[in-house]
Chain A
Amino acid sequence: MTEIIVVTSGKGGVGKTTTSASLAVGLARRGKKVAVIDFDVGLRNLDLIMGCERRVVYDFVNVIQGECTLKQALIKDKRIDTLFVLAASQTRDKDALSKEGVERVLNELTEDGFDYIICDSPAGIEKGASLAMYFADRAIVVVNPEVSSVRDSDRILGLLSSKTRRAELGNGGVEQHLLLTRYNPERVASGDMMGIADVKDILGIEVIGVIPESPGVLSASNAGVPVILDDASDAGQAYSDAVARLAGETRPLRFTEAQKKGLFARIFGS
């Protein structure tokens, strides 16, 4: 059975594409057949994060408009056999996506036996974002522990429970999870950043992962290697944990406590 997962947030720059890439790689690494689709028409970026930007020939809009087949447009990942990327169009206007067209592509992927389809949503609540979430079975809402991100996430949660196919059919709605990114345990400990419990409390949904603020994320995007493949980085390990939870395993949260300071640092400050 195919599961469609939307990665969304409302606010831009919180880590949707980084998350989409890492979740897709993580699920594929577990032997699942995964397609990851960039819905950000006009501002394509998933290809860069996945490191396949020079292999994009056809894109999502080409497929929808019948200018190529889906097979031609799917870019096979060089690292993992069961992972495919569908890039967003760079040049066309945003109206190039249609509900029928998106549904057709998703149905074809389902028939091709994909286990997971990850929809990387654009920021905002315009057409691209609403189409990315419309057909979803599950939603990963990416949120930074920061006021504007949390508020926007709440708007998105409202849309997920009203403007999606599952909400319209009334069969339980879209399963929603929170993924906190750019989490800084030291700043939480000093009272300068909202903690996991605060964000979870305000938004009222469960947390599937907490990704610490980490230099590894920028290095990974520089190199075009999704950060989950960097087993040495805390962010990569935190994404692996999130993928495991997505697959139904229970894993305790890691990298969410401030490092204990030594006696010297405690006496003289840092």
Chain B
Amino acid sequence: MGLFDFLRSRPKNTASVATERLRIIVAQERAASGRPDYLPLLRRELLEVIRKYVNVDPDAIDIHVERDGDSEVLELSVALPEKAANPAAAAAAAASAD
């Protein structure tokens, strides 16, 4: 780096960007590698079923398999929206307004 390079603004150094991106993706993939293969599909289908009744966000479903001694536990948590946006109720309300 020469004397005059200090006057130019340098873009963020690319090696640290690479390191940061890798840290995140590697951690994510390591977490995913222990899970059964069917989890993503199960998650998607559950989401479809739940959305028939409650309009939840696609990322509102958290699904985990945990080992508890000899047995495995499938843990499912769904974050419901703050105001229950029930499509059936909403449709009924719209119909009565007519």
Instruction: Please state if B26 and A269 are interface contacts (CB–CB under 8 Å).
Output: no
Contact among A154, A192, A268 for B15, CB-based, below 8 A: A192
Contact among A147, A158, A268 for B22, CB-based, below 8 A: A147
Contact among B1, B4, B15, B29 for A198, CB-based, below 8 A: B15
Q: Chain B 76-92, CB within 8 Å of chain A: the 1/0 string?
A: 00000000000000000
Instruction: Please state if A268 and B2 are interface contacts (CB–CB under 8 Å).
Output: yes
Contact of A188 with B26 at beta-carbon distance under 8 Å, contacts A269-B2, A269-B3, A269-B5 already known = no
Contact of A191 with B4 at beta-carbon distance under 8 Å, contacts A147-B22, A154-B30, A202-B19 already known = no
- Docked complex Cα distance between A85 and B51 (Å): 61
Contact among B2, B15, B33 for A188, CB-based, below 8 A: B15
Which of under 10, 10 to 19, 20 to 34, or 35 or more describes the interface residues of A?
20 to 34
Contact among A151, A190, A195, A270 for B2, CB-based, below 8 A: A270
Q: A194 an interface residue at 8 Å Cβ cutoff?
A: yes
Contact of A202 with B15 at beta-carbon distance under 8 Å, contacts A158-B33, A269-B3, A269-B5 already known = no
Contact among A150, A191, A192, A268 for B3, CB-based, below 8 A: A268
Contact of A191 with B22 at beta-carbon distance under 8 Å, contacts A158-B30, A269-B3 already known = no
A contact residues around B14 at 8 Å (CB): 191-192
Instruction: Please state if A193 and B15 are interface contacts (CB–CB under 8 Å).
Output: yes
Q: Chain A 209-226, CB within 8 Å of chain B: the 1/0 string?
A: 000000000000000000
Instruction: Please state if A269 and B1 are interface contacts (CB–CB under 8 Å).
Output: yes
- Docked complex Cα distance between A192 and B12 (Å): 10
Instruction: Please state if B13 and A191 are interface contacts (CB–CB under 8 Å).
Output: yes
Interface residues of B in 30-71 (CB under 8 A from A): 30, 33
Interface residues of A in 125-172 (CB under 8 A from B): 146-147, 150-151, 154-155, 158
Contact among A151, A266, A270 for B26, CB-based, below 8 A: A151
Contact of A202 with B22 at beta-carbon distance under 8 Å, contacts A154-B29, A268-B2, A269-B5 already known = yes
Q: Chain A 180-216, CB within 8 Å of chain B: the 1/0 string?
A: 0000000010111111001001110000000000000
| Closest residue on chain B to residue A159 by CB atoms | B33
- Docked complex Cα distance between A158 and B30 (Å): 8
- Docked complex Cα distance between A198 and B33 (Å): 22
| Closest residue on chain B to residue A154 by CB atoms | B26
Q: A267 an interface residue at 8 Å Cβ cutoff?
A: yes
| Closest residue on chain B to residue A155 by CB atoms | B29
- Docked complex Cα distance between A267 and B2 (Å): 5
26 contacts between A and B (CB under 8 A): A146-B18, A147-B18, A147-B22, A150-B26, A151-B25, A151-B26, A151-B29, A154-B26, A154-B30, A155-B29, A158-B33, A188-B15, A190-B13, A192-B13, A192-B14, A192-B15, A193-B15, A194-B19, A195-B15, A198-B18, A203-B26, A266-B1, A267-B2, A269-B1, A269-B4, A270-B2
Listed in ascending order, the chain B residues whose CB lies under 8 Å from chain A are 1-5, 13-16, 18-19, 21-23, 25-26, 29-30, 33
6 cross-chain pairs, A with B, having the tightest CB-CB distances, nearest first: A269-B2, A191-B13, A198-B19, A194-B15, A154-B26, A202-B22
